[in-house]
Amino acid sequence: MKNLVILGAGTAGTMMANHLHHHLKRPDWQISIIDEKEEHHYQPGYLFLPFDIYTPEDIVKKIEEFIPGDVNLVREKINRILPKENVVQLSSGRSINYDILIIATGAKIAPEETEGMKGSEWQKSVFDFYTFEGSLALRDKLRHWQGGKLVIHITEMPIKCPVAPLEFAFLADSFFKHKHLRDKVDITYVTPLSGAFTKPKATETLEHLLEEKKIKIESDFAVECIDNDKKELVDYGGRRVPFDILVTVPTNKGDDLMERSGLGDDLNYVPTHKATLQSKNYENIFVLGDASNIPASKAGSVAHFEAEILTDNISLYIEGKPLKEEFDGHANCFIETGNGKALLIDFNYTHEPVEGSFPFAGIGPLRLLKESRINHMGKLAFRWIYWNMLLKGTHIPFVPATMSESGKHYN
Amino acid sequence: MEKTIAGKQITVNEEGYLTDFNQWNEQVAEALALEAEVSLTPRHWEVLKYLQNEQKNQVALSIRRIGKSGLLDIKEFYQLFPVAPLKTATKIAGIPKPASCI
């Protein structure tokens, strides 16, 4: 019997287990998935926790609920991958051999990368919302806060869900309006990018929204440290931004396991072919989701589209056939803009987000790069889709893995 | 779009980055630096050469990478190119704007 081993039972790993168990069956294949955690978190929900829109119960379920019965779930910490020997060593001392390895260990925040970030003000006035704990601590703070300077900040790119900090800014505007505190809250958005987003057309739309909501933007800001005494963000050029509450997105990194195993780059991401998802250094290792270094957004939708293509590529690899070079970097993201509205963007490696209709050209019902209530309904419905379709590897109707150019208004 | 600089016709994109590195030379760099209000010292040239070399080796450039280059630290990079240093320095070096942002 051959072994296919998946590392990580998050969004990407879970979807892959659900896809592959239809294709690789006993007695020829045993699929194992390794993750030390007990819980599966719906990470997009971290954005809503601080504003009391979602409760913790909405976004946490047990990992095993989503792993098929014929897949072997191993609840242990992984010590090292020995890629030359095709072995995964667990912390217990046990080893698991593999014929094919899929790395889906994701990305996580590394606040220790920035001087002073995890200082005396951490979770007092300096918060993250990329972890469950961070998000809850921020919720507790915002419930009683009476106003002042709110600064939303990105440390460096790439980060998971690059639109999340903007959504946070928009939702904060809306939250304080409803609390009749908006005139007492000064909101500033601080980014290392030259503008609100990474792609020109979307940047234009989003900067217009920031202006409309009276959110100031400080761009090209490369943070050097956080001054805990003065409560200021300090950049390498000497610029300082004072805050009463800082909501920061710390540096994101791949799992430390990659460093221990000699498989990662500077930020512990695994060098990966961007069209096939095969690792660059070992042909029997594939990388899915945030763990790879491919130049696509680190987002669940990307992992979903990748998983459909990787499933085919695993079969081709087993048959000894050439892999499909098909992954195009397709991402599809709702952007909450507050007051019950949202934008939708759909893009890939080569095509930036533009206006149009989705998923049906000329019909919609969703509008691309335009605020609407139905987009917001889409975002809220998405949680159901995530738990009931996405994780189970069900194809989302009318939304192909590769991006469609029809219905989009390119120049 | 076409642009005449240092007596030479060059092609740049909408953000002012050279689209063909073959059009780059030291006079073009001097002129681009002037536009960015940077006056080039021997130390600047070392950094520009380093960036061009990294680009040639297809290394994805980022501020973090500069900090780990062993050539200079981020603080000095900011002293040399005070405003948005990576964007300014790559423009003067005649190489594409780093795509470190997805």
Confidence of residue B100 (pLDDT cuts 50, 70, 90): low
Mutation choice for B interface testing from A190, A234, A236, A269 by most B CBs within 10 A: A236
Min Cα separation B68/chain A (Å): 9
pLDDT value for A200: 83
Is A325 part of a structural domain of the chain?
no
Query: Would you call B40 a catalytic residue per the annotation?
Result: no
Strands A100-103 vs A285-287: parallel, antiparallel or unpaired: parallel
Contact (Cβ atoms closer than 8 angstroms) between residue A301 and residue A310: no
Residue in A198, A267, A296 nearest the CB of B101: A198
Domain assignment present for residue A68? The answer is yes
Q: What is the pLDDT of residues B38-92, one digit of tens each?
A: 999 999 999 999 999 999 988 888 888 898 889 999 999 999 999 889 999 999 9
Chain B nearest-CA distance from A355, in A, is 19
- Specify whether A219 is located in the same domain as A276: no
Choosing from B15, B42, B58, B101, the catalytic residue is B101
Map residue A364 onto helix, strand or coil. strand
Residue after which a domain boundary falls, among A318, A346, A368: A318
| Chain B partners within 8 Å of A236 (Cβ) | 63, 74-75, 77-78, 85
* Mean pLDDT, 10 residues at a time, chain A of 411 residues: 98 98 96 98 97 96 97 98 98 97 98 97 98 98 98 96 96 98 98 88 94 96 96 94 98 97 96 97 98 95 96 98 97 94 94 92 91 94 93 89 91 74
Closest C-alpha among B32, B8, B64 to residue B48: B32
Classify residue B102: in a domain, yes or no: no
Which residue in A156, A158, A298 is closest to B63 by CB distance? A156
Tally of structural domains, chain A: 3
Return phi, psi of residue A187, to 5°. -105, 130
Closest alpha carbon to A203 in A317, A343, A65: A343
Check whether residue A291 and residue A342 sit in a common domain.
no
A149 and A63 within one domain = no
Which residues of chain A are within 8 Å of residue B101 when distances are taken between CB atoms?
157-158, 192-193, 198
The domain tally of chain B equals: 1
With contact defined as beta carbons under 8 Å apart, do A221 and A192 qualify?
yes
Answer yes or no: do A300 and A350 share one domain. no
CB A16 within 8 A of CB A104: yes
Q: Chain A interface residues facing chain B, Cβ-Cβ under 8 Å? A: 156-158, 162, 192-194, 198, 220, 222, 224, 236-237, 266-267, 295-298
**ipTM above threshold 0.90:** no
Please state whether the peptide bond connecting residue A365 to the residue before it is cis, i.e. omega within 30 degrees of 0. yes
A356 lies in which domain range?
A: 338-390
